[in-house]
Amino acid sequence: MKLLLSIFFVFQVVCSKVEFYGGSYLVYDSYNDYVVESSNENKRQSVASISKIMTAILVIENSRLDKKIIVDETINKAYGSCVYIHIKDKMTIQDLLYGLMLRSGNDCALMLAKSVGGSVNRFVEMMNEKAQELNMKDSHFSNPSGLDEEDEGNVSTVKDMALLYDYCCQNPIFNEIVQTKVYKRQDGMGFWHNKNRLLKDYSYCVGGKTGFTKKARRTLITRAIKGDHDLIIVTFNCGNDFEFHKKKYEECFETMEKQVFFDKGVYVIGGKPYLFDESLFIEKKKEDCVSYIIKDESVYLYVNQHYIRKQKLKRFCFVDLYQMILKDLFYE
Averaged over 268-294, what is the pLDDT? 87
C-alpha distances in angstroms, 91 versus 72, 95, 96, 154, 231? 11, 7, 7, 27, 34
Looking at the predicted structure, is the pLDDT value of residue 29 above 50?
Answer: yes
- How far is Cα of residue 24 from the mean position of the Cα atoms in its chain? 17
Looking at the predicted structure, is the pLDDT value of residue 112 above 70?
Answer: yes
Question: Of the listed 52, 130, 246, 285, which one is catalytic?
Answer: 52
- 127 within some domain: yes
% of the chain at pLDDT higher than 90: 71
* Shared-domain flag, residues 184 and 301: no
pLDDT of residue 257: 86
Per residue in 100-110, pLDDT tens?
A: 999 999 999 99
pLDDT of residue 118: 97
Number of domains composing the chain: 2
C-alpha distances in angstroms, 302 versus 14, 40, 273, 290, 305? 19, 22, 23, 6, 5
* Shared-domain flag, residues 53 and 199: yes
Question: Of the listed 104, 115, 142, 156, which one is catalytic?
Answer: 104
Question: Of the listed 24, 49, 115, 156, which one is catalytic?
Answer: 49
- 251 within some domain: no
* Shared-domain flag, residues 57 and 182: yes
* Shared-domain flag, residues 187 and 72: yes
- The alpha-helical segments, DSSP class H, found in the chain are 52-62, 93-103, 106-117, 120-133, 158-168, 172-178, 198-201, 241-255, 318-330
Residue numbers in the known binding site for substrate are 209
Q: Which of 7-16, 87-96, 156-165 has the lowest mean pLDDT?
A: 7-16
Per residue in 116-139, pLDDT tens?
A: 999 999 999 999 999 999 999 999
Per residue in 189-241, pLDDT tens?
A: 999 999 999 999 999 999 999 999 999 999 999 999 999 899 999 999 999 99
52 is an active site residue: yes
Dump the DSSP string for 85-142: --TT-EEEHHHHHHHHHHH--HHHHHHHHHHHHSSHHHHHHHHHHHHHHTT-TT-B-S
Q: How many CB atoms lie within 10 A of CB 180?
A: 18
Looking at the predicted structure, is the pLDDT value of residue 114 above 50?
Answer: yes
pLDDT of residue 319: 57
* Shared-domain flag, residues 166 and 274: no
Looking at the predicted structure, is the pLDDT value of residue 15 above 70?
Answer: no
Averaged over 153-181, what is the pLDDT? 98
- 47 within some domain: yes
* Shared-domain flag, residues 84 and 159: yes
192: three-class secondary structure by DSSP: strand
Residue numbers in the known binding site are 209
**Can you give the CATH number for the domain in which 92 is found?**
3.40.710.10
pLDDT of residue 209: 98
pLDDT of residue 5: 36
Q: Which domain does 304 fall in, by range?
A: 263-329
Per residue in 246-272, pLDDT tens?
A: 999 999 999 988 888 899 888 888 888
